Structure 1
């Protein structure tokens, strides 16, 4: 299979046992460019036999791969990292065409994914588990980590290049086989990724790609040959994945939805806070779990902050993500655009003040475009402040004081992330110790951890024990054994 634009205008394929082949299921759907409405490919969903074949191939490959010296296991990852660097621009352009985000956002996403490949290349050090001589009289004890088998990851549409790389490199570096099931909405980026995987030289069956919809997901969750499941998506589906996979005896990490908050204290630099708030709320058209779509602002600076935010957001250039001046692209589907617009109407019906109405402002004629929308004087109990909209809608909430602002943040059933803008260390310390969220940022609009730290998530934003990225992945993809040794004649 060749790289690049040849991926467009051809049917999506599976990559099983080192070979490309067409899924054999009966269902499927068109892949549509959200900026133009044009169909650019078609994906057929995998059948039960496709999944069985992938799992069997993975199990067979795992038996030899687990015994491969760790230094040899990371060599294909070094090559994959180099290939991703070399093809980043071309891959980003394809990502824009099937997803809609801007080219700059696509390149940033891929850079974040590549960071995980870089970290996974350090597995020889990260996988070490500890040794204690003379743990007991004449006895030495050693803890060792061992791979478990075939793992799978079910990844979402919003970051089709980055999120698969939260899991893939760690799974294979620790000695496991891995099956990726990307979103059926934008699977072409995964096709490109596996073109690079093939060129990097991984053994057949160690890294595999299967395409499909909900039935494919359930088959993976219930398959007896799968050792563990990683998932990123909405909270209802995350709960289903967590419960189903766990009931079938699997390890599982399920990242759910979010409703993140920015807190703006009275000491904040308002210009900086407003710029960062707009960037956080409207990047990727609001379609990301680290977006901060609620800004809780202390009363005495609320009006000034609202003016700054509305001015900045109103000036954003909303157009095809491949345009040089693009600052925000379209939503993933017309159905999702309609869903977001329904939330906007709910906000109006609930009595929030519509400061900027993205539905009425000029957008390109074709595509699923919706400009930034901002509500003011939002009550924390309103649906636009409580529910994950996953679109370019920002709610401004007025807080009596800093303590009230933190209370409003903790009133959410989600706990993925939160950010604070302040010039006071005391505020930052109180925020750090009080807010119930797994990713916290101070004077940063998006609390996105680097690849060598785990990606947090609390409350209804995460189901499981071990998170994506960082050291948590080593624990997730291995189990510990203790080796106890005594030589009486030593």
Structure 2
């Protein structure tokens, strides 16, 4: 049984709190390690290391910072499979999906290589009376990331690469469920040439989160997780004077119009609903069918495919879906299926009784894919995020009724529409009250050079992640007004400068 501790000021640091959390192998259903849970003092030592490293790193040439990112990208490509294997072992997502997890984070590192261009300010020559004006983007200082279990590679890279490229120093508090990959990143950063103290990893639970959110030396906090904790992190951080972006839960709808290609829809839904066992904030968990004919045909097409999902351990090359992350989460998702039955949904495919008969993996945290029809908006199972391998079918009579569902839902993370009609797609994209919209794509996750973020209870804070929004979150603007007189000027000026000055 292995142990995971902390990384502070360029060194692996053994935890001293005496508290540990379990690290499970979800595929086998057994504990494989334990992770040290930091005390307040240990978190403070990581913050102090980041604070000490900030003056030198923020003063480092932006070109030199970009070269560290270039080195990191090459190292991440070299280590991609090793990172994915460690990720699969602790999270349970299948190896190919784990590779995608690493790749999508790596793409933000590639984007961050362009930081010399991204940080260019604005310049206005001779705005009046020999006065020039220009702006600069300055780093904030020590910033922190609190990241979730379901993307232990992608989201730490989303946050840390942009933060560090902008000249900040960084403290990462990853999920205690799968801490190995973030610690592997620490070694990658060091090999890339990042100075000690710029990137730190502190493992922990609520005590670590509270310390990060209240310590005055931390200037900004980025969070991804469930909505209740996102609200807590946002409220605590902002109450303590910090900039905060806190991404919460989701209930992502796919609207299927009568003219849609249902073969494409079925392909899209199988991957978007059941990939990574549904443990994605961008998973499509609700299929909104416009018309009973669409719904009947779609259910008929989906049923055999859901029943035939290849479910196995995370390193099984034939598996399309692995286990859930913990026994507790498996029980929670099963409870939602019980509730759906009680609420009157029609259970088309029931994944609760799935058993993995692969030798050595019989006790893993497995559920089969579930599909249920005739879901209505008043059901709890529709209102709440399930975060498991389930797909709900809602039947509507019109486009307007279908578009209203994601618009009025508490969550507003992502949505997509399948249609052959450009006018319908354009109207949907403009009308729906959701942060990320797809048209004939299964999961509308923006690429690294655009921005990621939801609306309503899916996100708290005004600035989204990565893309140009990421640069803005991790910097503050300084505007300089400059005049170099050609001769000696005399006399006081009592009027505020204007364009006529």
The TM-score range, normalised by the shorter chain, is over 0.9
In 2, distance between residues paired with 1:25 and 1:310? 50
Q: Which of 185, 198, 205 is residue 190 of structure 2 equivalent to?
A: 198
> Where do residues 18-417 of structure 1 align in structure 2 (5 Å cutoff)?
18-299=10-291, 300-364=293-357, 365-417=362-414
Structure 2 unpaired stretches of 5+: 488-501
Give the Å deviation of 1:78: 1.0
In 2, distance between residues paired with 1:401 and 1:161? 41
8 A Cα contact 1:454 1:472, kept in partner: yes
> Where do residues 466-477 of structure 1 align in structure 2 (5 Å cutoff)?
466-477=463-474
Give the TM-score normalised by the residue count of structure 1: 0.97
After superposition, what is the alpha-carbon deviation per residue over 1:71-115, rounded to whole angstroms, capped at 9, x for unaligned? Answer: 011222111111110011111111100000011100011110100
Give the TM-score normalised by the residue count of structure 2: 0.95
In 2, distance between residues paired with 1:433 and 1:282? 28
> Where do residues 408-487 of structure 1 align in structure 2 (5 Å cutoff)?
408-487=405-484
In 2, distance between residues paired with 1:74 and 1:60? 21
Give the Å deviation of 1:59: 1.0
Give the Å deviation of 1:399: 0.6
In 2, distance between residues paired with 1:265 and 1:389? 25
In 1, distance between residues paired with 2:319 and 2:242? 43
Q: Which stretch has the larger CA shift, 192-201 or 387-396?
A: 192-201
In 2, distance between residues paired with 1:37 and 1:195? 29
3-state SS, counterpart of residue 293 of structure 1: strand
Give the Å deviation of 1:418: 0.1
In 2, distance between residues paired with 1:188 and 1:211? 10
In 2, distance between residues paired with 1:48 and 1:456? 30
In 1, distance between residues paired with 2:139 and 2:274? 40
Structure 1 unpaired stretches of 5+: 1-8
In 2, distance between residues paired with 1:360 and 1:39? 23
In 2, distance between residues paired with 1:446 and 1:284? 13
3-state SS, counterpart of residue 284 of structure 2: coil
After superposition, what is the alpha-carbon deviation per residue over 1:235-259, rounded to whole angstroms, capped at 9, x for unaligned? Answer: 0000000000000000000000000
8 A Cα contact 1:275 1:312, kept in partner: no
8 A Cα contact 2:143 2:219, kept in partner: yes
- Kindly report the root-mean-square deviation, in angstroms, between the aligned alpha carbons of the 2 structures: 1.0
Give the Å deviation of 1:434: 1.0
Give the Å deviation of 1:55: 1.1
Give the Å deviation of 1:10: 2.6
